[in-house]
Structure 1
Amino acid sequence: MPDTLSFRASLIGLALVVLAVFQIAAGPALAQSPFSAVRKVGDRVITEYDVSQRIAFLELLNASATDIRAEAISRLTAEAVQRNHARRMGVRVTPDELVEGMAEFAGRADLETEAFIAELADGGVDRESFEAFVEVGLLWRKIVGPELGPTTNVTATEIARARDVAAIRGTKRVLISEIFLPADPQYADPVAQIVGLIENARSIEEFSQIAREYSLAGSRERGGRLDWVALEQLPGQIGGPIGAAEPGQIVGPIELSGAIAFFQLRAVDSTRDIPAERVKLTYKRLLLPGGRSPETLATYADIRDRVQHCDGLDPYAAGLPDGSITDHEALMQSIPQSDAVELARLDRFETSANTVEGDNLVVLMLCRRELEQDPRPRDSQIENSLFNDRLSARSDIMLDELIADTVIVDY
């Protein structure tokens, strides 16, 4: 066990060389010929150059993969399969379509095509790699649309359900700090000592101080502190533990490519809590005579078993006094409390009958629970969004099947 001075010297030495060590941690791949084969997919060969180009492209796009090389190879493999399938189908992309596709992609970054290509070149990505990336996307779009589009349907019920507050995706943002340490065997002893310091950190400031002194990450000058990030953007290996952590809790060690990582959750912000003043309910209210008598409760049991949608409640008002069944549309905050409490627990087309009004059993049925939006999305917009999501999911399954049927050889 080193004494205090030698241990401190080891840590200082580590802090001075750690960035250089991390830069060469990519391993033997850097020493290979750029034209050496990495993988053969059907009759297409993925070279080391292809992989290096895709890694550079992913880094420019801020990809969050924990193993970016594996991610690059995986994507290139899928694209090779897509190209092979396009060739068998006789699908091609014209020069004009390629120009339009490149302009569309560059436009997402608010850049003209040539300006975007210049930015890519500064990051080490050549024009041909970008063209190939866009081309395969266009090929796949041409295949998926005619092949899967006609059998991909969106119903009116699904459009209505998509408007429900329950279907509105909330976002959870987190503030985290990070520490990255080298995984190189020659630094195992000093790293083990630093790991002990991290695991014994008792405050956010103490964790940040350790990050300033020993972390490999570019955030070290900020004490490892990162800005707000959506939890869903973090890879599962990190996002899962972070999502379950409490502020101040340290997550790690997590083994990444060439590094050991620790994260500390500093704060959480959720936008899923939608304020009541923006939630609009549409519901039916049926007054059944007899209060909680056995006959009335039997009628309600029949309603619960048979009625599948709001229009199905109307026949039960036949023969009852006028006003026994009413339609309501109101913001959550303006609904009478007795009804609001019941409706808050219901999903679309569910019923409740826990209250009485005079000699009547109050049957409530929720028809819609929507977020009041300005402007309100048109049904056609929601339909297009649902269609695209469904088509994308089906195309992913189709691609997985094509990959499974392809002979793939690693070198």
Structure 2
Amino acid sequence: MPMISHKFLTRLVASAAFGLALSTATVGPTFAQSAFSPAVTVNDRVVTHYEIEQRALLLSLMNTPGDKRKVAKEQLIEDRLKQEAAEIIGIMPSEEGIQAGLVEFSKRTNLKPEDLIKALEAEGVSEQTLRAFLIAELSWRGVIQSRFAGRVQISEAEIDRAIASNSGAGGINVLLSEIVIPVTPQTNDQVQSLALQISEIRSQTEFEAAAVRYSQASTKDQGGKIDWISITKLPAPLRPMIMGLAQSEVTPPISLPNSVALFQMRGMQETGGSSPSYSAIDYAAYYLPGGRSAETLQLAKELRDRVDTCDDLYGEAYGQSKDVLDRQAVAPSKVPRDYALELAKLDENEISTSLTRPTSAGGQALVVLMLCGRTAVTGEEVSREDVASALRSQRYESYSNGYLEQLRADALIYEK
């Protein structure tokens, strides 16, 4: 369930305390006539303008970033796909299940369910809007568990490896291949569908061919092959997923900024010692306008030849916009996932030029990404059940995202 903002909580409490009534002053005849007309059809299932406005208001109260109406429309399209998938296999949340979902949602506002409903209505959000929101998510939960439960069984060995991967115990190194496929809003559906197909590959030869054909990573010419790497250098959320792979197995699609990634297991070994976990990653990102054009890549090469350490980048950035250089020393969980994956391949003061970022002018900037250093710490005690739960959640989420994109790619969606 989504998090509830402090601002929203304050407004809800105020609304509940003062018993504010829903105002209808702005609802004129024109809105009343058009509110329930179709805005979008999804496989003959209608999304109305009223539903979009209601969901947008709910998202606003939940402090959801971005264009609320656009996000609302996209969510409601996905809700129709989720509901259709649930109905096909006979899944429908019981009233008891809906009430349990409402209780779970209400806990985030420290209000009882009935008080939350009253407060939402005082802000203009109907109870039916909240129920529809919960029903779609609960139905989808059932679909994913029914469809993928067989793929998320967690063994004791996987838990052991996951704990080792986070603590550094055993000094585990992995040999991976990668495919990183660029994504734009126009290609998102096709890329997600393609990534789901690649995730089913169990041949290293086929994966290498797919890497050469589709990947944008610097490893594409080597069939996506990455050298041996310590598991503790990878982003923490990915470690259990990687450690759970059998030989030649591929991860579910992993969403990154502007791309989707997949990894294939080619080998695993224990080094005999322990590998450190890290409390902080120090890195620098220097942005060159022009994306991956030949001219920009040449500038990046020249920059790489001039600098020896991250501190040298300050001289390169002197006299330019402050946005040209971003230096961070943050917890590993705060590093953007695509940056973290590139940094995992680097030693101190090494550079990657595999990534891009959108610019404010609407173009692309090549990211000259440099690892400045890592701060090591001793791993903490972790609960085996917490690890198993995290493994299951991550796998369910990956399969959920991939399956939803597949449904969307196959759907007939028309906007009015």
TM-score for both structures, normalised by structure 1: 0.44
Which of the pair has more CA radius of gyration?
Answer: 1
TM-score for both structures, normalised by structure 2: 0.44
